[in-house]
Amino acid sequence: MQNPVTTSAAVSADSGRHWADEGAWPVAPGVHRIPLPLPSDGLRAVNVYVLETAEGLTLVDGGWAIDASREVLERSLAAIDRTVADVRSFLVTHAHRDHYTQAVALRAETGARVTLGAAELPSLRAIRAGLEQADPHVAQLRRAGAAELARQWGRLSDGSSADLTVWEDPDSWLAGDLRISVGDRTLDALHTPGHTQGHYVFAETGAGLLFAGDHVLPTITPSIGFEAVVPDQPLGDFLGSLAKVRALPDLALLPAHGPVAASTHARVDELLAHHDHRLTLCLDAFGEGAELTAHDVAAVLPWTRHEHALRDLDVFNAALATMETRAHLELLVARGRLARDEVDGTEVYRNSST
Ligand SMILES: [Zn+2]
pLDDT digits (tens, 9 = 90+) for 217-232: 998 899 887 888 888 8
24-45 tens-digit pLDDT: 999 999 999 999 999 876 778 9
Calculate mean pLDDT across residues 270-285.
96
How far is ligand 1, taken at its centre, from the CA of residue 156, in Å? 19
How far is ligand 1, taken at its centre, from the CA of residue 94, in Å? 7
How far is ligand 1, taken at its centre, from the CA of residue 287, in Å? 35
How far is ligand 1, taken at its centre, from the CA of residue 35, in Å? 15
pLDDT confidence of residue 139: 85
pLDDT confidence of residue 13: 47
How far is ligand 1, taken at its centre, from the CA of residue 108, in Å? 23
CA atoms within 13 A on the CB side of 273: 6
How far is ligand 1, taken at its centre, from the CA of residue 37, in Å? 15
Starting at the edge strand found earlier in the chain, the sheet holding 56-60 runs 25-28, 31-37, 45-53, 56-60, 87-91, 113-117, 172-174
CATH of domain 25-264: 3.60.15.10
Q: Please give the share of the chain, as a percent, with pLDDT higher than 90.
A: 75
pLDDT confidence of residue 126: 87
How far is ligand 1, taken at its centre, from the CA of residue 299, in Å? 25
Q: How many CB atoms lie within 10 A of CB 312?
A: 11
How far is ligand 1, taken at its centre, from the CA of residue 248, in Å? 22
Q: Is 85 exposed, middle or buried (0-12, 13-18, 19+ CB in 10 A)?
A: middle
Whether 182 has a pLDDT exceeding 90, the answer reads: yes
CA distance 198 to 130: 20
b (16+ CB within 10 A) / e for 163-181: eeebbbebeeebeeeeeee
How far is ligand 1, taken at its centre, from the CA of residue 21, in Å? 20
How far is ligand 1, taken at its centre, from the CA of residue 96, in Å? 5
CA distance 114 to 332: 38
- Locate the domains of the chain by residue range: 25-264, 275-351
How far is ligand 1, taken at its centre, from the CA of residue 331, in Å? 21
How far is ligand 1, taken at its centre, from the CA of residue 283, in Å? 28
How far is ligand 1, taken at its centre, from the CA of residue 195, in Å? 7
pLDDT confidence of residue 157: 60
Calculate mean pLDDT across residues 90-98.
96
How far is ligand 1, taken at its centre, from the CA of residue 317, in Å? 15
107-120 tens-digit pLDDT: 999 999 999 999 99
How far is ligand 1, taken at its centre, from the CA of residue 100, in Å? 10
How far is ligand 1, taken at its centre, from the CA of residue 288, in Å? 38
How far is ligand 1, taken at its centre, from the CA of residue 214, in Å? 5
The predicted model scores a pTM of 0.91
Beta strand segments in 41-147, E: 45-53, 56-60, 87-91, 113-117
Q: Which fold has domain 275-351?
A: Arc Repressor Mutant, subunit A (1.10.10)
Mean pLDDT of the chain: 90
